[in-house]
Amino acid sequence: MIGKGTKLYSIFAAKCPSCHEGDFFIDQNAYHFKDMFKMHKRCPKCNQSYEPEPNFYYGAMYISYAYTVAILLMVLLVCQVMLDMELWPTVGVLATILILGGPYLFRLSRITWLNIFVKYKKPISRKND
Ligand SMILES: [Zn+2]
């Protein structure tokens, strides 16, 4: 398991990038579609703002794009190079992964984007802020 204090922990556990304690999304399950987009405005534990400026998360589209390209390359490597599949079955695999993984990818992109701008603060230094 990835330890607290690393950005990867915040990203994959969907925790506040500042304290790694508070939840980022209101509903922890990305596949509850009704609440899929609902995020806390601020960290419930340390009060870190989750939206530092208006429309902050437009930038998360670039992250989403980067993750999509990474998935594309992995699918190409596995299906075309390792399994020697035809083109259309490969496209089918890619589409399936992107559709099923969409909600998760959406969230991953947002928390990754916020992690680029917000640094982890150790509990001791947070008291002095
Ligand atoms: Zn926090």
**Mean pLDDT score, 19-24:** 95
Q: 31 CA to middle of ligand 1, Å? A: 24
- The verdict on residue 53 lying in a domain is yes
Q: 76 CA to middle of ligand 1, Å? A: 38
- The verdict on residue 1 lying in a domain is no
- The verdict on residue 93 lying in a domain is yes
H or E element in which residue 68 lies:
helix 60-75
Pairwise CA distance, residues 88 & 94, whole Å: 10
Give the range of the structural domain holding residue 39, as residue numbers without chain letter: 7-126
Q: What is the pLDDT of residues 115-126, one digit of tens each?
A: 999 999 987 655
Q: 105 CA to middle of ligand 1, Å? A: 22
Q: What is the mean pLDDT of the chain?
A: 92
Q: Per the structure, how many domains does the chain have?
A: 1
Measured in degrees and rounded to the nearest 5, phi and psi for residue 127 equal -65, -30
- Integer-rounded Cα Rg, in Å, for the chain is 17
Pairwise CA distance, residues 129 & 126, whole Å: 5
Amino acid at 116: I
- The verdict on residue 44 lying in a domain is yes
Amino acid at 23: D
- The verdict on residue 27 lying in a domain is yes
**Mean pLDDT score, 26-31:** 92
